Amino acid sequence: METRTLATAGADLVYDVRGPLPTTDGRPPLFMIGQPMDATGFAALAARFPERTVATYDPRGLGRSTRTDGRVDHTPQTQADDVHAVIEVLGAGPVEMFASSGGAITALAVVAKYPADVTTLVAHEPPLITLTLDGPAAVRARAGVREAYEKRGWGAGMAAFVAMTSWKGEFTDAYFAQPEADPAAFGMPTEDDGSRDDPLLSDRSWAVSSYRPDADAIAAAPTRVVIAVGEESEDVLTGRTSVATAELLGQRVTVFPSHHGGFLDGEFGYAGKPDEFAHRLRQVLDGAS
């Protein structure tokens, strides 16, 4: 693996390349992106594609990529520009892309703005909460996570986030009537370290989850777009947002093994089924539905 840094007008973007450039297998590079997950989250999945040249990167302000623009917010439009810049510097033409969570939202923005950059996009569980039928309630639930984080710190915020993302079905009065999530019950720290800059729990990434993809631009692009959902995500928030995103684009979801982190190998305490996930991803990239 070779690690490189791309200096842009607003950030120094660190990215990794596994395999030769230009590629020697006749396939485009496979670019894996997330948000707020950085490149470390794709190590297990990339290792299961030894025959491919795989690129990963850290979004600006996350992991090893430092910002020089003086901002702390995260937006799909800015991240799309960053991804485009990395694809250009790879110099191997358009890429195939696997994008997860907020990275899937970035990827949809890439396809809309830079349609020649990606041949096939597998967008895994984009958390586009305003697309759901209960969008206003989902926005209220998101605000509740931030409130818990602001009041009581990271452990309380993460407990509230887990409670929100594991809730089955629409956010009803029963959801909002629950007592505040107890961080100790989720194995989270109960002490408050005073920090309030977490991109997942603060409002710094609300522009990501509030984004509305340009369905017309995506339809006009030459990119084959696949919206993927984990088989264990049915009825929870990211499963519902995946279905809503697919419907916006006039398609149906493609089911993958496991859950929202199904490609992980336990390195973050959230093990999925990486072997089965990689097998399914290889099938979909090769054209299977």
For residues 247-272, average pLDDT: 94
Residue with tokens 């995506």: 218
For residues 237-260, average pLDDT: 98
pLDDT > 90? residue 249: yes
3 state SS of 90: helix
**Does residue 209 contact residue 127 with C-beta atoms inside 8 Å?**
yes
What pLDDT shows up at residue 104? 98
How many residues are listed for the chain in this entry?
A: 289
Pairing verdict, β 30-33 and 95-100: parallel
pLDDT > 90? residue 267: no
What pLDDT shows up at residue 75? 97
Report residue 229's pLDDT band, with 50, 70 and 90 as the boundaries: very high
pLDDT in tens, 25-53: 999 999 999 999 999 999 999 999 999 99
CA atoms of 281 and 275, how far apart (whole Å): 10
3 state SS of 89: helix
What pLDDT shows up at residue 270? 83
Report residue 268's pLDDT band, with 50, 70 and 90 as the boundaries: confident
CA atoms of 23 and 75, how far apart (whole Å): 31
pLDDT > 90? residue 266: no
3 state SS of 166: coil
pLDDT in tens, 154-190: 999 999 999 999 999 999 999 999 999 999 998 999 9
Which amino acid is present at 116? A
Pairing verdict, β 118-124 and 30-33: unpaired
What pLDDT shows up at residue 112? 98
Residue with tokens 């990239």: 285
What pLDDT shows up at residue 69? 95
Residue % of the chain over a pLDDT of 70: 100
Which amino acid is present at 82? D
What pLDDT shows up at residue 284? 98
What pLDDT shows up at residue 254? 98
pLDDT in tens, 216-225: 999 999 999 9
pLDDT in tens, 56-91: 999 999 999 999 999 999 999 999 999 999 999 999
To the nearest whole number, what is the mean pLDDT of the chain?
97
**Does residue 7 contact residue 73 with C-beta atoms inside 8 Å?**
no
DSSP secondary structure string, 7-66? Answer: E-SSEEEEEEEES-SS-SSSS--EEEE-SS--GGGGHHHHHT-TTS-EEEEPPTTSTTPE
